Chain A
Amino acid sequence: MRKILSMAAITFLQGFRTQTFRIVGMLFVAIMAMTYALRVLSIGHKAMMLRSFGLSVMEISSLLLIIFGCVASFYRERETRLQAIHLTYVSSFDHVLGRLLGNCLLIGAYTILATLACAIVLWHENAWSWVFVVGAYSIFLKLCIICVFCSLFSNLLSSSIFASLMTVFVYFAAEYASYPLAMMRRTPSVVPDSVSKAVYHLLPNFDKIDLKYSAIHGEGVAAFLILEITLYTLLYIALVFIPAWRAFARHEH
């Protein structure tokens, strides 16, 4: 456990202090400032608009952090012989798990900071609701799943550009996988229903994890649902982690 924590702490501190983290943070602040300035346009829906933009910007900027921060740091570590040093201290399992944990912690820290920034704006505009925290938590869970995919693609592919593109692809595929399924219920499709369903279940079901809608509308969320999506996320991460670890272990450093 100490070895995993060691790798996680190194990954977290490295990621937290990079320029990428600061740039993504500044981008978040800039968009939030613009949202704040434009709040007057959404007459009667100001609170919902602010909450919606806050969560959406948080999610997109976190995704940028994964693509430009986590993927890039993986390849940088490979080029600078850091992996070679780390692997003389820890096993490949500890290394991959530690890095994944470190990246999830990084996304967690970013989500907390972004939630605090949003809270100040929302409080000021009387738009704050505690369900906003639940919405932010659901975004964190989604991005942890994206982190494990980022780990998988970084270990599988020799090009960081492909790894980034594949990570983005999985994010959008998972985000919108439920729409074709819903459309097929109404209109017949050439793709068999079973295939569509299989693809949907193979991809992370972001439509079920995502609690942004409740957070935006200020609707309460049952504690059981939060527990359920947390367990689903942990299980999904464990399933994707295994091939990511095997790919890393097979790779020669």
Chain B
Amino acid sequence: MEPLLQIREATRKFGNVCVLDRLTLTVERGEIFGLLGLNGAGKTTLFKCILKLIALNEGSILYGDKPLDLATIHAKIGYLPEFYLPPGELRAGEYLRLLGLAVSGPRPDVDALLQKTGLDANKLIGDYSRGMIQRLGLAIALLKAPEFVILDEPTLGLDPLVRLRLLDWLRELNSQGKTILLSSHDFAQVAKVCQRIAVLHEHQLRYIGPLTDFLDQHKTSSLEEAFLKEIGGHNA
């Protein structure tokens, strides 16, 4: 496998608090990579550092074999943030079309994307349910046809059926060649779609590697149990 995103010795501090401590990890091209960690472990901060929404204090991030720059982010990386709330006054279709104007290169096929997500283009976003907003968020992340997609808690607040559909969609996107980096507290879902995982605990990387190896290492078939053992919380 060829490395797509390489994070080297990434360190980020907020005042005296070190949120990312010399983190090194690689996401391979064409895989679904899961980032696991408790609340406040530094997952969202890491995503924001990748997207240059937050600057690193130390370390570097490479995309392919070049340092990751803003032009690459704008052209090649899609992002769905946690607790994302799009403008409720706009209709889904017009919001996607307007954002599509900001895409460099060929104009995106908004209609196809709306059809795929099953969203009503003429409905105000303010009238959407949580699941529909997540689908819209994913549509926005995919609008520029990115080769790399970052999803921060994509299944948060979704009912089981919508969650299942979303995961099917992620598999489909992956089969089309897209690389996906996602964070989730939903271990069962992560176990279903991710090939490799990383465990972030207390701002440090505790494990990185294939999901199956992680389960074997902790002699369990449950990712949640393995995770708790890894962070020493299985007795809690």
- Is the beta-carbon distance between B144 and A89 smaller than 8 angstroms? yes
A1-48 CB contacts (< 8 Å) to partner B: 2-3, 5-7, 9-10, 13-14, 16-18
By beta carbon, the residue of chain A nearest B137 is A85
The reply on B1 being an interface residue by CB < 8 A is no
- Is the beta-carbon distance between B98 and A253 smaller than 8 angstroms? no
**Best-buried of A9, A14, A18 by chain B (most CB within 10 Å):** A9
The reply on A88 being an interface residue by CB < 8 A is yes
By beta carbon, the residue of chain A nearest B124 is A17
With contacts defined as CB atoms under 8 Å apart, how many contacts are there between chain A and chain B in the complex? 80
B118 to A: closest C-beta gap in Å: 21
Question: How many Å lie between the Cα of A13 and that of B89 in the bound state?
Answer: 8
A88-105 CB contacts (< 8 Å) to partner B: 88-91, 94
Binds A, one of B47-55, B58-66, B172-180, B221-229: B47-55
- Is the beta-carbon distance between B89 and A18 smaller than 8 angstroms? yes
- Is the beta-carbon distance between B85 and A82 smaller than 8 angstroms? yes
Question: How many Å lie between the Cα of A252 and that of B78 in the bound state?
Answer: 19
- Is the beta-carbon distance between A9 and B82 smaller than 8 angstroms? no
- Is the beta-carbon distance between B51 and A87 smaller than 8 angstroms? yes
A85 to chain B: which residues have CB within 8 Å? 79, 81, 84, 86, 137, 140
- Is the beta-carbon distance between A6 and B83 smaller than 8 angstroms? no
A16 to chain B: which residues have CB within 8 Å? 89
- Is the beta-carbon distance between B95 and A10 smaller than 8 angstroms? yes
Interface size on A, residues (CB 8 A): 26
Question: How many Å lie between the Cα of A136 and that of B182 in the bound state?
Answer: 52
Measured as residues with beta carbon below 8 angstroms from the partner, the interface class of chain B is 20 to 34
- Would A84 and B51 be within 8 Å (CB), given that A18-B89, A89-B74 are in contact? yes
B112 to chain A: which residues have CB within 8 Å? none
Question: How many Å lie between the Cα of A57 and that of B73 in the bound state?
Answer: 46
B107 to A: closest C-beta gap in Å: 10
- Is the beta-carbon distance between B85 and A90 smaller than 8 angstroms? no
The reply on A81 being an interface residue by CB < 8 A is yes
The reply on B161 being an interface residue by CB < 8 A is no
- Is the beta-carbon distance between B101 and A2 smaller than 8 angstroms? yes
- Is the beta-carbon distance between B90 and A90 smaller than 8 angstroms? no
The reply on B70 being an interface residue by CB < 8 A is yes
The reply on A126 being an interface residue by CB < 8 A is no
- Is the beta-carbon distance between A6 and B102 smaller than 8 angstroms? yes
By beta carbon, the residue of chain A nearest B94 is A13
B70 to chain A: which residues have CB within 8 Å? 91
A87 to chain B: which residues have CB within 8 Å? 51, 53
- Would A3 and B140 be within 8 Å (CB), given that A87-B51, A87-B53, A252-B55 are in contact? no
- Would A6 and B84 be within 8 Å (CB), given that A13-B90, A88-B77, A89-B103 are in contact? no
5 examples of A-B residue contacts, CB within 8 angstroms: A7-B102, A13-B90, A80-B86, A90-B74, A253-B48
The 3 A-B residue pairs whose C-beta atoms are closest, nearest first, are: A80-B85, A6-B101, A17-B89
**A positions within 8 Å CB-CB of B:** 2-3, 5-7, 9-10, 13-14, 16-18, 80-82, 84-91, 94, 252-253
